[in-house]
Chain A
Amino acid sequence: MDEKRGPNFSWLVKMAWRDSRRNRSRLFLFVSSIILGIAAMVAIYSLGDNMSEEVDRQAASLLGADLMIGSGKQVSPAIQKMVDSLGDRRSEQRMFPSMIYFSKTNKTRLVQVRALGGEFPYYGALETVPSSAGKTFRNGQAALVDQTMMLQYDAKVGDSIKIGNVSFVVAGTLINAPGQTGLSASVAPPVYIPLQYLEQTGLSQKGSRIVTQFFFKFDEPVNMEKLVDDIEPRLDIEGMSYETVETQKQNTARSLEDLTDFLSLVSFIALLLGCVGVASAIHIYVREKIKSVAILRCLGAKGRQAFLIYLIQIVVVGFIGSLAGAALGTIIQQFLPIAFKDFLPIKVTAEFSWSAIGQGLLLGIVISFLFALAPLVSIRKISPLNTLRLSFQRFSLFKDPVKWLVYLAIIGFIWAFCYLQIKEVQESIGFSIVIVIAFLILVGSAALLMWTVRRFFPNRWNYLWRQGLANLYRPNNQTTILIVAIGLGTAIICTLFSIRAILLNRIQLTAQGNRSNTILFDIQPQQKDSVIALAKQFNLPVEGTVPVVNMRLEKVNNITGEVLRKDSTIKMRRGLFDREYRVTFRDSLISSEKITKGRWSGKREGPSGTVFISLDENYATNNSIKIGDTLTFNVQGAVISTIVGSFRKVDWGRVQTNFLVLFPTGVLEEAPMFHVLVTRIESKDVSARLQQQMVQRFPNVTIIDLSAVLNIVSNIIDKVGFIIRFMAAFSIFTGLIVLIASVMISKYQRIQESVLLRTIGASRKQIFYITALEYFFLGALAAATGMFLSLGISFLVAKFMFETEFILKWVPLLIVFVSVCFLTVFIGLINSRAVVTRPPLEILREEV
C-alpha cells in the first residue's frame, strides 16, 4: 500500500456534500445575508452598463448639436465673427433667470427663460405635448412651459404667461429637453420662448445675468478635434467654453459614473453588513462542527483537508447565494431607471448585463470566501483530542497569525473595492477607515454592554428579567452580531433623517425672527425709487437698496487666466478668472460680516487714491491671495487696479446682501449697475400680491421668496433622500435577514436550555417573556447605538461640512427606535415559537 497516497479533491467535495446533508437549509440561511447586497450591486452595475450604452447611443441628442459654444458674458464682435463662420446650421440660445406671470391665476414663479433661435436641437427633440409644439412655438409669440410647473400652477396649453414686457401663449408642455434632468428642472423650471422676442421683453439689458449658447450643426463630417484645437485659444481669451458630442459624452459618462460609484458604495455597505452576518453564522457553524472535525482528525484527516471540506461548502453556498442575488438584482434593475429618472439626463432602458452579473457573482464568491475564512481557519487548529474531551480548547484570535492575515485581507479588500469605485487613494482609505471605525464602535458597544451587564448584574430583579438579561452575555450569545447588523442599519436611516433636518433647519433659521426672507434682484437704477415705494405701500421694512456691479477678474498680481491654465503649480482655483463677479461698494460693514485681517477704510482717498478692497477670507485662502496682493478687475470695459486691504468673515447663511468682494465708495458709482432690495414679508398673501404687482410693473425684477426656496430645497432633499433611502433599504433588509438568520442559528444554541427550563417546570409564558426580553434588550441597544452613531456623524457633517448648527429632531429617531425594537422582538419571537408552543421532547428529538 502506498502510504503517501491520500484522498483527492473529489473526496473532499464528496465529504463537503455529505457533511452538508443536515445543514443545507442553515447554510443557505448563512448566505441569504449576502443576497440583497449582491442584488443591489448587480442592479447598480447593470444600470451603469445600461447608462453607458445609452450615453454612447444618445450622445448627440444629449448636446442636441455637433458643437456648442457658450459664455456668461456679452459676446465680443471677434467671437461673433467666428461664430458666424462655423457650421452649416446655427442656433442661438440665451438663458437667464426671470419671473414668469400666469395671467389666468395671477401667480408668479422664478424660472429659467431660454430664448431660442434657429432649429435647435439638431439631434433629439424638445419633447412636448402636443408633440408639434416643440417646433411650432418658434413661429409666433408662444412659449413652452415645464410640465411640473404647468401642473403646480394649474396652467393649460393655450393659457397666457407674461415674461418681462411680453405675453406669450403656452404652445405646449415641455416634457424634456436635451441634457435636462428632472432635478435641474425642479430647481429652475425651463420656459422656452422664441429668441426674436427677447429684446421686447426688456430683460436683455446690459448687466443682466444672461448665458449665451451657440449650437452648430455640420452637414458634412468634420474633424471636430482639430476644429476645437483651432478655436480653443480664442475661446479661452474670451472666457468662453465649448462642448462637442465627444466632450458631452465624456462629461455625462463621468457624472453618471460618479452616480453609480456612489450607489455602489452604498450597496457595498449592505453587502458588508451581510458579510458580517455570514462571518458570525460561520463562526457558530464551526463551533458546532468541532466534534465532527475532531473525529475526522482522529481518523487521520489532515488539518488542511478538514479546512477544505468546510471551505468548499461555503464557497458553493456563497456561489448559490450570489446566483440568487444576481437574479434578484436583475429583477430590481428593471425598476431602477424609474426610481432614478430625476437624476438621469438620458432615457435608460433596462437591459440584461452579463458583465454586471459576472461582477456580482465574482464579488459574492470572493466576499463570502473572505469573510467565512476568518472563522474557518480555526478548523485547522481543532485537535483530535476533542473526541475524548469536548471543549478541550478555545480559539484565540491572538494566537493564530493566519487570522490576522485574513482580517488584513478583508480590510485590504474593502479598500481595493472603494478604490475601484472612487479612484482616489486617500478618499478610499478614508471611506475604509470610516467603515472600520463604525464597525469597531458597534462591536465595542456590544462588548461594553456584555461587560456592564455582567459587572453590574441586577441580582434583585425578577427572575424572568434576569434570565433575559443574562442571555446577552452567556455563551453562544448573539449580542455582537445583532448589534452590528441592526445598529448599522439604524445608523444609516437615522443619519438620513438628521441630515435632512439639519439642512432644512439651516434654511428655516434664516427666515426666523425679524430676518429678511425676500430678495428682489435686477432693479435698474431708474426703477430703484419706484420699487422702494411699492414695497413701502405693502408696509414692508426697507432700508434702501444695495448696488451691484458686474465685473471680471483679469489678474492677481501678474497671474492671468491663461497663465493659471498653463501652470498647474499655481494654487488657485480654475474658475477664479472665468466667473463673473457681482460686487458692491459701501463705506461700512453690515451685521453679517466682520474684518478678520488687515484694515477696512471704506472710502477711496481721492480720485487717484489706491483702491483697497476687502475679500471673503475663505475665498482668499482657497486662491492663495494675501493682504497687499494686486487684483485687476475689468468693469465692463474699464480696467480697475485694486489692492487687497482686508479679509472678512461672512455669514453666508443669513439672507443679506453678502459679497465675496467689497469695494470702498468713490470707485464704482458711475459703473453700470443694478440694485438689490432685501426685505421681510410676513404673510404668503402679501408676498403673492407683491410679486404680482412687481412682475406687472417691473418685469425685469427677479424675486426670490425664501419659502419657495425652502420648498425647492426640501424637494431636492426628498429626491436625493429617496435614492439614499432606496439604497439604505438594502442595508435595512439585509440587517433584518441577518437578524432572522442570527435568531434561527441561536435557536439551535438556545433550544436545549429552553427545553430544559420547560422540563423543570417553566411555563410557556415564562419562556416567552425571557425570549422577548432578550430580543428587546438586543434591539433597544442596537437601535440606541446606531442612533448615537448617526448623531455623531450628523454632528460632524453639520459642523464641518455645512458649518451650521447641529439640531436634534427626536420624533423621527424615536419612531426608528421603536420600530427597530418591535421588529427585533417580533422576529425573535416568531423564530423561537417552536420552543414555546411544542412539547419539549418533540423538539429535542427533532432539533438536537
Chain B
Amino acid sequence: MATILNIQNLSKTYQSAGRTLTVLENINFSVEAGSTMAIVGPSGSGKTTLLGLAAGLDRSTTGSVELNNIKLDQLNEDQRASIRNQHVGFIFQSFQLLPTLTALENIMVPLELRGEKNIKPRAVDLLRKVGLGDRGHHYPAQLSGGEQQRVSMARAFINKPQILFTDEPTGNLDAETSRGIVELIFNLNKEAGTTLIMVTHDLELANQTGRIIKLKGGRIVSDETTANSN
C-alpha cells in the first residue's frame, strides 16, 4: 500500500523567555494510505504539535513532512492552505465551526473555497448521513455539542480528503454522545477509504485504530500496531 504521510527527523522548538523550548525531537514515522492511527501521550507530550505539523498547519524547525508525496516544508502558508483544502480533513475537540454560518453553510465552505458549483446537494446528503438532515439552517449556537461535532464531521468529509486528522474529537462530549460520534467517524472513514490520524488521551478510543504511537517529552516512546491492524 502507498505511503500517504512520511515524517523524517522532525523536530520543533520555540523561543520562550530567551530560552529554547523543544516540543518535538527527532520524530520519524510514515503512514500508509487508508490506515488508521492514534497518537497518544500525556499532556504536554507534543501530540497536538505533531498533528499541526503533519497536517501542514505549522512548519517544523528541522526535518521534513511529506503529505501525499508533497514536501510541506518547501511550501508557503498559502500553498499549504491549498494542500489542506485538496487533501486534508479536520475534526477538532472544540468543533471549530464558523459561528456566523449555518450548519449547511459550514459544510459547504471547503468546496466553495475550491470554487466548485452545485455543492448544496452533496452537503445536504452528508448532513443527512450524520443525522442532521433537518438542522441545516441552524447556527452552531443553536446546536448541542454532539450536533456541532456531527456538522464538523460532515465538513471534514465533504472534500473527500485522503487523510483525516482528528484532535480529541470526543474531548468535549459526554460518554454516550462520544460513542455515537466515534462510531460515525469510523463508519464514514471506512466508507470513504480515508486515512485517519487521531490525537487522543483515550486509550480505549486509540485501540480502535490499527496503530498507536505513544509520545512522551516530545519523543516517540512506542509505535505499536493493534488488533485492528489489517
Residues of A at under 8 Å CB distance from B?
A: 1, 3, 5-8, 11, 15, 18-23, 291-292, 294-305, 383-385, 387-389
Whether B84 lies near A5 (C-beta < 8 A) is no
Please name 10 pairs of A and B residues whose Cβ atoms are closer than 8 Å in the assembled complex, sorted by A.
Answer: A6-B114, A15-B112, A21-B100, A291-B96, A295-B96, A296-B113, A298-B96, A303-B81, A384-B81, A388-B51
Q: How far is the CA of A291 from the CA of B167 in the complex (A)?
A: 16
Question: By the criterion CB–CB under 8 Å, are A388 and B57 in contact?
Answer: yes
Q: With the chains together, A296 CA to B84 CA distance in Å?
A: 11
Q: Which of B48, B86, B155 contacts A3 (CB 8 A)?
A: B86
List, in ascending order, chain A residues with CB within 8 A of B48's CB: 388-389
One of B82, B100, B167 near A22 (C-beta < 8 A): B100
Q: Which residues of B contact A388 (CB under 8 A)?
A: 48, 51-52, 57, 92, 167
Q: When chains A and B are docked, how far (Å) is the Cα of A21 from the Cα of B52? A: 30
- C-alpha gap A387/B90 in the complex (Å): 10
Chain B residues whose C-beta falls within 8 Å of the C-beta of A299 in the assembled complex: 84-85, 90, 109-110, 113, 155
Contact with A along B111-147 (1 / 0, CB 8 A): 0111110000000000000000000000000000000
Docked Cα-Cα span, A305 to B92, in Å, equals 23
Docked CA distance A8–B57 (Å)? 24
| Contact call B113/A298, Cβ cutoff below 8 A | no
Residues of chain A with a CB closer than 8 A to B92's CB: 387-388
* A304 / chain B contacts, CB cutoff of 8 Å: 78
Judge whether A1 and B114 touch: CB under 8 Å.
Answer: yes
The reply to whether A5 and B114 contact each other, CB–CB distance below 8 Å, is yes
- B contact residues around A387 at 8 Å (CB): 57, 90, 92, 96
Closest 4 CB pairs of A and B: A300-B85, A5-B115, A302-B78, A21-B100
Q: Is the CB of A298 within 8 A of B115?
A: no
Q: How far is the CA of A383 from the CA of B58 in the complex (A)?
A: 8
Q: Are B90 and A11 in contact (CB under 8 A)?
A: no
Contact B113 A18 (CB under 8 A): no
A18 and B86 CA atoms in complex are apart in Å by 23
* A20 neighbours in B (Cβ, 8 Å): 100
Contacts A23-B100, A388-B92 given; indicate if A300 touches B52 (C-beta within 8 A): no
CB-nearest residue of chain A to B83: A300
Q: B77 in the interface, Cβ–Cβ < 8 Å?
A: yes
Q: Are A6 and B52 in contact (CB under 8 A)?
A: no
Chain A residues with CB below 8 A from B81, complex form? 297, 300-303, 384
Report the nearest B residue to A8, measured CB to CB.
B115
Among B51, B52, B167, the one with the most A-chain Cβ atoms within 10 Å of its Cβ is: B52
Whether B78 contacts A18 by the Cβ 8 Å rule is no
Cα-based distance from A385 to B49 in the complex (angstroms): 9
Contacts of B105 in A (CB 8 A): 18
Tell me, in angstroms, the Cα distance from A20 to B155 when the chains sit together.
Answer: 21
| In-complex Cβ contact of B109 among A21, A291, A296 (8 A) | A296
Give A151 to B96 CA distance when docked, in angstroms: 76
Which chain B residues lie closer than 8 Å to A7 at the CB level?
112-115
In the complex, what distance in Å separates the CA atom of A21 from the CA atom of B98? 11
Q: For A3, what are the chain B residues with a Cβ–Cβ distance below 8 Å?
A: 82, 86
Neighbouring A residues of B90 by C-beta, 8 Å: 298-299, 387
Contact A383:B57 (CB < 8 A) given known A8-B115, A22-B99, A22-B100? yes
* CA distance in complex: A265, B181 (Å): 63
B101 close to chain A: CB less than 8 A: yes
- Chain A residues with Cβ under 8 A from B77's Cβ? 297, 303, 383
Known contacts: A292-B99, A295-B96, A388-B167. The answer to whether A6 contacts B115 by CB under 8 A is yes
Interface 1/0 per residue, B71-103 and A, CB below 8 Å? 000000110011011100010100011111100
Contacts of A1 in B (CB 8 A): 114, 116
Instruction: For the complex, give the distance between the alpha carbons of A19 and B101 in Å.
Output: 7
Give the complex CA separation of A23 and B101 in angstroms: 12
Contacts of B82 in A (CB 8 A): 3, 300, 302
- B182-195 CB contact bits vs A (8 Å, 1 = yes)? 00000000000000
B158 to A, closest residue via Cβ: A299
Q: Which residues of B contact A300 (CB under 8 A)?
A: 81-82, 84-86, 110, 113-114
Q: Which residue of B lies closest to A305 (CB)?
A: B113
Given A18-B105, A383-B57, A387-B90: A301 touches B113 (CB 8 Å cut-off):
yes
B114 and A296: CB pair below 8 A? no
The residues of A that contact B116 with a CB separation of less than 8 Å are 1
Q: Which residues of B contact A301 (CB under 8 A)?
A: 81, 113
Give complex CA distance A15, B109 in Å. Answer: 9
- Which residues of chain B are within 8 angstroms of A305 by Cβ–Cβ distance? 113
Most buried by A among B48, B81, B82, B85: B81
Closest chain A residue, CB of each to CB of B97: A295
CA A1 to CA B159, docked complex, whole Å: 12
Which residue of A is nearest B80, CB measured?
A384
Which residues of the other chain, B, contact A5 by a CB distance below 8 angstroms? 114-115
Q: Of B58, B101, B167, which one neighbours A18 at CB under 8 angstroms?
A: B101
CA distance A7 to B81 in the complex (A): 13
Contacts of A302 in B (CB 8 A): 78, 81-82
Contact A292:B78 (CB < 8 A) given known A5-B115, A6-B115: no
Of A19, A22, A304, A384, chain B has the most CB atoms within 10 Å of the CB of A384
Closest approach, in angstroms, between the C-beta of B88 and any C-beta of chain A? 8
Question: Nearest chain B CB to A288's CB is how many angstroms away?
Answer: 10
Which residue from chain B places its CB closest to the CB of A300 in the assembled complex? B85
CA distance A300 to B115 in the complex (A): 12
Contacts of A8 in B (CB 8 A): 115
Identify the closest chain B residue to A3 (Cβ): B86
- Distance A384 CA – B100 CA, assembled complex (angstroms): 18
* A385 engages B57 (CB within 8 Å): yes
Interchain CA distance A389-B48 in the complex, whole Å: 9
A22 to B140, CA, bound (A): 12
Question: Which residue of chain B has the shortest Cβ distance to A294 in the bound complex?
Answer: B96
A384 / chain B contacts, CB cutoff of 8 Å: 57, 81, 84
In the assembled complex, the Cα of A758 lies from the Cα of B70 at a distance in Å of 53
Q: A296-B109, A299-B109 are in contact. Are A385 and B52 (CB under 8 A)?
A: yes
B41 to chain A, nearest CB (A): 15
Q: How far is the CA of A205 from the CA of B110 in the complex (A)?
A: 95
Interface centre among A19, A303, A385 (most CB of B within 10 A): A385
Q: Is the CB of A19 within 8 A of B86?
A: no
Task: Give the chain B neighbours of A15 by CB distance below 8 A.
Answer: 112
Within 8 Å CB of A295, what residues of B? 96-98
Chain A nearest CB from B145 CB (Å) reads: 15
Nearest chain A CB to B14 CB, angstrom units: 10
- With A6-B113, A296-B109 known as contacts, the answer to whether A303 contacts B100 (CB < 8 A) is no
CB distance from B56 to the nearest CB of A (A): 8
The smallest C-beta distance from A638 to any residue of chain B, in angstroms, reads 89
A11 contacts across to B, CB distance below 8 A: 112, 115
Known contacts A6-B113, A295-B98, A300-B114; 12 further A-B pairs (Cβ under 8 A): A6-B115, A7-B113, A11-B115, A15-B112, A291-B96, A294-B96, A299-B110, A300-B82, A300-B86, A301-B81, A385-B58, A387-B90
Which of A292, A294, A383, A385 meets B100, CB within 8 Å? A292
Closest to B58 in A: A385
- Complex: how many Å from CA A300 to CA B55? 12
